[in-house]
Chains A and B, each alone.
Chain A
Amino acid sequence: MDVSFLMEVERRSQELDALDYFQVLRIERGSSPAEIKSAYYRESRAFHPDRFAAVESVELRNRIGRIYRRINEAYTVLRDDVKRQKYLAEVSGPERERKLRFTEAEETQVRQEQKQKMEEQFGLTPNGRKFYAAALKEVEAQRWDPAERAIKSALMYEPQNARFKELLALVERSKPKADPFKIR
């Protein structure tokens, strides 16, 4: 086999983990879907494992297999407009090193975390949200009794909400201690 090709396989398998998907397909970052497809066809013609199926060296076949799997991975992400935009932003950003390989699991995780944060902030139930918002307003105005009533009502709907509990604790701490035995 061609020596220059063997050298290229060697070089590519060594640098594979440092390449982004655009580099794997050997295209510019701003490439159009048509350019991505034609690059994918070009790389397939060069590295498709079927082409090397009859090659004796198992090591060489494994190396080419690994390169081709990465080519497929790159194409899967870049052919999808939404994923490509997201990926492009990721590899152009400061976290490039960590984001070279696109993970969808991460995407769902991030979405879930965001959702959870939102829910914690505003509550899971409409009534919880309503009373929590009311409580915040009362706290701001330092009207502690109405604030306590509102946050306790919110907690009735969502007894497990950590943020609600925190606010209640704050209200209870801030409330001036009224001595029940003091005669006015």
Chain B
Amino acid sequence: MSDEIAVGIDLGTSYSCVAAILDGTPQVLPNEWGERTHASVVSFLDDASVLVGNNAKKNIITNAENTVYSAKRLIGRFYFSDEVKKAQAVMPYRIVEGPNNSVRIGVRDRIFAVPEISALVLKEMKAIAETSLGREVKKAVVTCPAYFNDNQRQATKDAGRIAGLEVLRIINEPTAAALAYGFGKDISQRICVYDLGGGTFDVSILEIGKDVFEVLSTAGDTYLGGDDFDDRIMAWLADDFLKVHGLDLRQNKYCLQMLKEAGERAKIEVGRDGVAKIQVPGICRSPEGQVLDLVQTLQAEQFNRMVMDLVQRTFKVCDEALQSARLTAAEVDAVILVGGPTRLPIVRQSVRHYFQREPLTGIDPDEVVALGASIQAAALLDTGAAEAGQASYLLDVTPLSLRVATVGGYTERIIAKNTPIPIEKSKTFTTSRDGQDRVRIRVVQGESNRVEECELLGEFEFSDFRVGKRGDVQIEVTFEIDSNGIVNVSAMDLESRARATTTISLSSGLSEADIQTAIDKNAEVELAGHATA
């Protein structure tokens, strides 16, 4: 057996999970208390240590300003994006603007980049794995939603590096789930992975041919998840409370957190028991000093009505994925459900209705992604594979079209969505002025031909090529999407074959120097709640 080990980490919006292959089978690594999934919540304590996981989740109420949750909703986003605006309204922690329109989180007297927060969750996963395995863990495969764009993937990879992990690969969550399902089974099927997570929704259609896992198409909505279900219950509770007591619970961030917790608990309860009794004693105080309780009952039928449009939205995404794969719902052989919210009967019933078949059971929707990641992690370390072949091959695709901005606010497509990766494509640009010594290209991702409707990845500037009359100098720019789904751009003078110098600006990502500083800071942080190793 190889001396090295690599783990698979499912870095979720609400919960994270770590797994590794032990004695040939993928297994979830529990923490010291036997917990198998861990809240992706980071709480900064008074003694400068950091608490991560399910215990930190309790601090969302008691230590609200210093407890960061759902950071994944912010990762790789620009400060001006809608998601960030929405988060600012509901999150109790400070969200501030950093350089180049990036997002920063302020806790106590420190300012964190979003990948630094995710890095603390990963550090906890690393610590859990190390305690469980009794050895050091340095390498990992980290998962991300299939519909993540380049900025979000790059930021996820940075988070891994900051946590002191060598990120062997970023893989897509639905693909990981499919791998965990089909690994070693020798099946030939077309499957659909319906992945409704805490903050994102993904659907991937795969064709499994024994050891080959070919993603035919993927589609998603990075603004749709279980949190949105909670929000509906919260809104209902708050509106009702306002009607009865004339007080808006959403005005106070402390009340808001209690409300959020009540909403999440009610969702789980109503899904499990068909009815939820909501009781939050002393949620707030009336102006007269009277302590008010929140008491409500939520019936399944009422809950289903509240969230029906959200569930319907997921099937619009399924339509899109099936259309790209040129399949109908009936041609899918199996449906895999991933993510906590897929436990809800309303979701299961709707999926059954849409695909006209029972979704597969016996797959844990919270753990399957981490298990798949651990399989891929072991595969990437396998030194014997070059000779003997790999036990499985993931053929994944890019979820979004890669485009360059052209004149007048338009874009031109370079690589279409659902193209297998890794892939490269070259395009020749010609200088438009005499003596021009630099070429600037703005690269975006999205499906619109209007630049403002796409996500900006960055502006690339190429220099140090021959200078000549306009139209004389031809620069060949190569766009590459690697196996992580991360975009690399390089340029070359077509005549001299000399590589041009590339500089990236307007990108929300961290610079190499930023990452190095973050690595050092992360190493200094002490994780609370562990028996000191």
Contacts and interface: CB of A to CB of B under 8 A. Distances in A.
B126 to A, nearest CB: 21
B393 A104 contact: no
Contacts of A2: 387
B424 A54 contact: no
Nearest to A76: B419
Interface in B390-447: 390, 393-395, 412-414, 416, 419-425, 427
A73 interface: yes
A75 B209 contact: no
Interface stretch (A41-49, A123-131, A165-173): A41-49
Contacts of A153: none
Given A50-B394, A54-B380, A45 B389 contact: yes
Contact of B380 (A50, A73, A104, A108): A50
A78 to B, nearest CB: 12
Given A44-B212, A52-B386, A72 B423 contact: yes
Contacts of B424: 69, 73
A7 interface: no
A11 B428 CA distance: 27
A53 B393 contact: no
A50 B386 contact: no
B423 A54 contact: no
B168 to A, nearest CB: 7
Interface string B23-56: 0000000000000000000000000000000000
B329 interface: no
B385 A54 contact: yes
Nearest to B214: A41
Contact of B420 (A45, A75, A104, A105): A75
Contacts of A49: 422, 483
B307 interface: no
Contacts of A44: 212, 393, 395
Contacts of A48: 390, 393, 395
A72 B393 contact: no
Nearest to B412: A105
Most buried by A among B382, B383, B420, B425: B420
A51 interface: yes
B283 interface: no
B422 A55 contact: no
Given A41-B212, A54-B381, A68 B422 contact: yes
B385 A51 contact: yes
Nearest to B216: A79
Given A50-B380, A52-B386, A45 B211 contact: yes
A2 B385 CA distance: 12
Interface in B64-99: none
Interface string A23-58: 000000000000000000100110011111111000
A44 B211 CA distance: 11
Contacts of B419: 72, 76
A142 to B, nearest CB: 43
Contacts of B416: 104
A72 B421 contact: yes
Contact of B386 (A54, A68, A75): A54
B422 A72 contact: yes
A76 B380 contact: no
A1 interface: yes
B476 interface: no
A35 to B, nearest CB: 14
B379 interface: yes
A49 B389 CA distance: 11
Given A48-B390, A50-B380, A54-B380, A105 B427 contact: yes
Interface in A119-142: none
A55 B386 CA distance: 7
Interface of B: 168, 209, 211-212, 214, 376, 379-383, 385-387, 389-390, 393-395, 412-414, 416, 419-425, 427, 480, 483
5 contacts: A50-B376, A50-B379, A51-B389, A54-B386, A76-B423
Interface of A: 1-2, 41, 44-45, 48-55, 65, 68-69, 72-73, 75-76, 104-105, 108
